[in-house]
Structure 1
Amino acid sequence: MHYLKSLVPQWIKNIYHLFQAILANLIYGFPSKKLKVIGVTGTNGKTTTVQMIVRILEKSGKKVAMASTINFKLGEKEWINKTKYTTLSPFATQKFIAKAVQAGCEYLVLETSSHSLHQFRVWGVKYRTAVITNVTREHLDYHRTMEKYRKAKSKLFKITAKNKGVLIVNLDMENPQEFLNFEAEKICYSTHPAGSGAADLGCRKLVAEEIELGSHETRYRVGETSFLLHMPGKYNIENALAAAGVALSEGISLETSASALEEIKGVSGRMDRVANDKGIDVVIDYAVTPDSLEKLYFIIENMRKGEDSKVVAVLGSCGERDRGKRPLMGKIVSEHADFVIITNEDPYFEDPQRIIDEVFAGVVRGAEYDYASSLDAEDVEKLAKLKKIAPKIEGENCWKIMDRREAIRKALELAKAGDIVVVTGKGAEEVMAIGNERITWNDKQVILEELGKMS
């Protein structure tokens, strides 16, 4: 069946999805017209931004529905997303929206993938606000080029502008103008002083100043309002600025946003620390792109507790996705981790050994420092002062271990008190995709079980 589906051209599948979307809207009565729909798209940061927006809206007394990669929410009711889809099928999407209306929700915050936009899965959704977090390399197996990938994401902005909605754009990403070329109200956000030029782009502006980055929290100021996030990383400031931009567009003050964001202690599966009595810092993160890995490991570097503190990395790469990113991910991790373990991660119908080998191809090239352009000059200078990580040699400081549990066990055994174990790729997901099967799996649960076996 999988093979037969692969033979059907994508344009035919898209027509089928469009037909489904039209039919679903007719059956459920175009339910999104009865809600204020906020769409969040981007390569990285969508889920965190969605959670932040929801928290701010609820802090303001609004009843909110939410659909994200990790969970669903209808007012007070919340449950885990076990589908492994960021955005559901046309019928499932419209059914969920109809339930949000029935539950008396005023807002719907919808994590919206490039696939769903290109495939018409969200056709008929009346977006009131569109948010873009960033666009970096991902899904080139599907979109083929970055230009087509960006164009797919810009569809959300075209739809929202047509609805006379609000566009919220990250000025720090590459070529933000592509998402501003629409006649609509615009709010731009930035973590750089250059963001003050937003007015030239026809934007209201939100610029973070006096930024203080810590290993556990971040502080910054927007205008006269001070913000404290219990999450590290400049990228989380960007996510928070996007959420505050949504709030402003809905007449919610920066002070309310700051208060709501300070209450968030973290997002499940995103820079998620696993408490233990072994003295080991164990971190779980969803990072599945070169850009997100680079930003994650910059934070991890600053968590080291001195020269003797080691970083042990566990990573893989999803099957039937962009193969070109695999060696890039391996290379990035090899630049930052003392020990690297490559393992299985949602192979779907692809040969898991081939996936592991392709990630490994990047690792064994050694640790030549080649910082991502997304890092600030001062960040690069700070990292350059750290000791260089030794090139990886299989069997000495780098391993290929097919079984993910065994890989996690190996990482924990390598670590000592003061070291950091980083497990990436699945975050808070509850299943692993192997062929047609969805095997029950949760990284945090497995880590806790393996920690419990250690003496």
Structure 2
Amino acid sequence: TTFTTPSSWRLQKHLREAVKAGCEYAIVEVTSHALDQNRVWGVDFDVAVITNVTREHLDYHKTIEEYAKIKERLFKMVSKNPKGISVVNLGMDKPDVFLNYEVKEKYGYGIKVQSSKFKVQSDSLKLKIVEAESIKLDIHNSQFTIHNSQFTLNLPGEFNVENALAATCVGLSQGISLEKISEALAKIKGIPGRMERIENNKGIEIIVDYAVTPDSLEKLYDYINQMRSSSHPTPASRDLPSGRGGRIIAVFGACGERDRGKRPIMGKIVGKAADYVFVTNEDPYNEDPQQIINEVFAGVVTPPPTSPLYQGGEDKGGLKTEGINAFRILDRHEAIKKALEMARAGDIVVVTGKGAEETMAIGAERIPWNDPKVIREVLGELEK
């Protein structure tokens, strides 16, 4: 299916086949589009999980408030189930909206700072809090404790700790022990296209990630900059103001026929976080790919005072200069090649927007494309 959540008849068909095959649990990713278009009508959900509500799909929903209201429908559905369970990220904006739906059990998760303010309300909210403490992060994995039980993830980043907490809440709600949950999470060796590291002989870190929203890009680059600042100086860091860690070289773009307003915002986030930026093609669909690139690039560079992006002070966009540390390259293969050619030992090359996807949408066509595969091909070419 080309949809994250299949059509109602296809979803029901899959669920029926799963029951016939002896499956006891079905995990369904429910999008706001699916809720608004009644694709999950007739599905009697037992558990509803909300990880966050950030700027996304505003081309469809128009406002983030409307987007959040649509998300609430899933919790309204679960509240009608006598055995309904809700799982809410306590670190998100306005978690109370989702916690206010009456269900049999409520779980709230977060890191200690996020969840502490809810502890005083936990009794009145009938809320079970699952929080991560003693968090240790590095470029390869994450370690933390939940109620004194040790957890190790082969997935880096605080956002992956939060995702693991959501999964832990669901497991606990189904009677699975923390020990069993910890063992299961430790077996995950990586998720294709999600903070995926590409091995190479150049001594550089190459990361492929699906990040396609301002929030996901911000979290990704916050993590990468934390890792860089904690690393030892390298030869590649000599031209950085901090003198610590390697340079961050970004390759990214934006999808066509989606929320245009987020394009310069994404450009600004990456422009500020990375040392060098290559803006390139990324699923243009029926839009002009160069126009999409230009709209993203407007946020990467320092805008002129006449631009609506110019806000004065330190908040002037990505503060990059075209031709020096910011580049527009229409051909995604060429953009990746230029970034890898630029990289020196100790640098971090980050390629976002496609993740593990196998095609690129150009007009009505789906062209074979896979970022990790292309990166490996380019590395092979550079080694010759």
Which amino acid in the other structure matches residue 170 of structure 1? Answer: N
| Change in CA separation of 1:195 and 1:209 when aligned onto 2, cut-off 3 Å | farther
1:68-126 Cα distance to aligned partner (Å, 9 max, x none): xxxxxxxxxxxxxxx44211122221221122122211110111111101111111111
Q: Give the alignment of 1:70-149 within 5 angstroms.
A: 83-149=1-67
Which amino acid in the other structure matches residue 238 of structure 1? Answer: E
Q: Does 1:190 align with 2:110?
A: yes
DSSP-derived class of the 1:98 partner = helix
Distance 2:123 2:335 in 1: 50
Question: In the alignment, what sits opposite 2:148?
Answer: 224
State the number of aligned residues: 351
Identical-residue share of aligned pairs (%): 56
Question: In the alignment, what sits opposite 1:434?
Answer: 362
Normalising by structure 1, we get a TM-score of 0.75
| Change in CA separation of 1:232 and 1:196 when aligned onto 2, cut-off 3 Å | farther
Question: In the alignment, what sits opposite 1:268?
Answer: 192
From 334, 354, 379, give the equivalent of 2:291: 354
Distance 2:286 2:170 in 1: 39
DSSP-derived class of the 1:211 partner = strand
Distance 1:245 1:282 in 2: 32
Q: CA deviation at 1:454?
A: 0.5
Q: CA deviation at 1:276?
A: 1.2
Question: In the alignment, what sits opposite 1:180?
Answer: 99
Which amino acid in the other structure matches residue 149 of structure 2? Answer: T
DSSP-derived class of the 2:54 partner = coil
Q: Does 1:299 align with 2:207?
A: no
Question: In the alignment, what sits opposite 1:258?
Answer: 182
| Change in CA separation of 1:140 and 1:390 when aligned onto 2, cut-off 3 Å | closer
Structure 2 contact 302–318 (Cα < 8 Å) conserved = no
Q: CA deviation at 1:189?
A: 0.8
Q: CA deviation at 1:365?
A: 2.2
Q: Does 1:310 align with 2:247?
A: yes
Q: Unmatched 5+ residue regions in structure 1?
A: 1-82, 367-388
Q: Does 1:161 align with 2:84?
A: no
| Change in CA separation of 1:425 and 1:84 when aligned onto 2, cut-off 3 Å | farther
Q: Give the alignment of 1:365-376 within 5 angstroms.
A: 365=302
Q: Give the alignment of 1:326-365 within 5 angstroms.
A: 326-365=263-302
From 229, 234, 251, give the equivalent of 2:158: 234
Distance 2:124 2:201 in 1: 53
- The alignment yields a C-alpha RMSD, in angstroms, of 1.6
Q: Give the alignment of 1:55-70 within 5 angstroms.
A: none
From 330, 342, 345, give the equivalent of 1:402: 330
Normalising by structure 2, we get a TM-score of 0.88
DSSP-derived class of the 2:144 partner = strand
Question: In the alignment, what sits opposite 2:376?
Answer: 448
Distance 1:122 1:109 in 2: 13
Distance 2:335 2:159 in 1: 29
Q: Unmatched 5+ residue regions in structure 2?
A: 239-245, 304-316
Q: CA deviation at 1:196?
A: 2.7
Q: Give the alignment of 1:317-328 within 5 angstroms.
A: 317-328=254-265
